[in-house]
Structure 1
């Protein structure tokens, strides 16, 4: 056995895990910081530019040919997302630091999706999640030490919310995304993830007692039609 080759492969693998974790960290850090500096609606809208970045990087860096149906589906979904969140967001947007951070967060999210797509060709979902989360914990701990933020002293209610956020939203959510990236195109996944806003609006009905406006219904239908348009061949097959 060539131990040097094995050692080199292990080092490269762990280095890759560190890179993926760093991308996810920067995306999460920028996104959460942006919400504090701008409105939640603006941050959500601008951070969801990841499909555009994924498409541009796939087109110009990886030289992938993107079909017309993808661009049509992407356009439908983005228009629907704007209507769903509210077109008045653009009127109040002044591109402050929070808005810029939201755009950059979308870029890092796109890089994470593309790097994960490539890695899932060689690594199974669970192993990828396990090592990525370990490195993510290390990076986050270092960030909290540098920033001086506390990771203790929260109330039971806060700990319960964090537990639910970690187990349901982060673990099962990212597990599903990483699994999908092992079976679908990155461009398709990035557009499909725009349906998160639609699901959020639907979940808010029983959980928060909210009701859907006409704009939200129209916007949600456009988002879903765009997602279907991008994946329609896969649906037919």
Structure 2
């Protein structure tokens, strides 16, 4: 007799699947943006839209949690500036030089980068399965970056976009390992604070872009891209993910990030019309295989489920 699926799991699966789809859609938007809106303009406008929406619909909750954030403003500023502003700026700049498939594939390396950075900073134990996952995923990233031409490694002739997206992933990995140190407030209010810091820290970069004459303000298509990345990958996906973590816990919810490279590659082919050849297939298989090794084979003894944060830390959506 089959064991019925718990209602919390049934509710979490579609939310987390949609989260991965929206994050993958950001790769397609990053490829479409050049020529319609410049990297710093889309970054600033994206977080401006998020801040306005959050203030309109959640300002009472944010105001109630504000005293708990004031003593942590430096951490919030750093996390919002690096995890959101720097990541987004480099991500959209990379879209002018590399493919949407590569934008999605390189995001698959973030969990592995988190493992490496946790070990380097905190000496967090790395299991043999995680070590294998690191090597396999980095090999997949190398295939994506070199497009199967291994002479690139000898000459260091990487595509500029691939280098930019890899640096962006390093910033986001750093943001991820800082998350456990966030103040004990609701996830919604913390996200709102980081969105505000992301907008503030994006303004100097926007000013530099404008001063250099490279700023492109959005037209109709540009605004469509801005609104999509603001309401989809930025706002809705973050709230869906927080709700999914609340329902089934962070360990199980985190596995759904593995869908981003799959959805990203599919959207790049179906929506952008990019070719999907042998090199892309090998890179995708290696990235997903490496993540599988790191997350499945790399687990040590202990419960598979970790209880979510205390109720005061859970977002009230």
TM-score, with structure 1 as normaliser: 0.70
Deviations 1:83-121 (A, max 9, x none): 45632276285258766655543332221111124327x
Distance in 2 separating the partners of 1:95 and 1:84:
10
8 A contact 1:41–1:89 mirrored in 2 = no
- Structure 1 residue aligned with 2:73: 14
- Structure 2 residue aligned with 1:199: 263
Distance in 2 separating the partners of 1:90 and 1:174:
40
8 A contact 1:35–1:43 mirrored in 2 = no
Distance in 2 separating the partners of 1:144 and 1:132:
18
What is the aligned length? 227
Contiguous gaps of at least 5 residues in structure 2: 1-65, 306-317
Alignment of 1:124 onto 2:186? yes
- Structure 1 residue aligned with 2:199: 137
1:125 to 1:204, Cα distance in 2 relative to 1, 3 A: same
Alignment of 1:154 onto 2:218? yes
Distance in 1 separating the partners of 2:94 and 2:281:
27
8 A contact 1:23–1:108 mirrored in 2 = yes
Deviation at 1:14, TM superposition (A): 2.4
1:201 to 1:60, Cα distance in 2 relative to 1, 3 A: closer
How large is the Cα RMSD of the aligned pairs?
4.2
1:95 to 1:111, Cα distance in 2 relative to 1, 3 A: same
Deviation at 1:54, TM superposition (A): 2.6
1:217 to 263, 281, 284: 281
Alignment of 1:65 onto 2:125? yes
1:98 to 1:200, Cα distance in 2 relative to 1, 3 A: closer
- Structure 2 residue aligned with 1:172: 236
Alignment of 1:110 onto 2:167? no
Question: Mean Cα displacement is larger for which, 88-97 or 129-138?
Answer: 88-97
Deviations 1:61-104 (A, max 9, x none): 21211111111122223333444563227628525876665554
Distance in 2 separating the partners of 1:161 and 1:210:
19
- Structure 1 residue aligned with 2:114: 54
TM-score, with structure 2 as normaliser: 0.55
Distance in 2 separating the partners of 1:200 and 1:130:
26
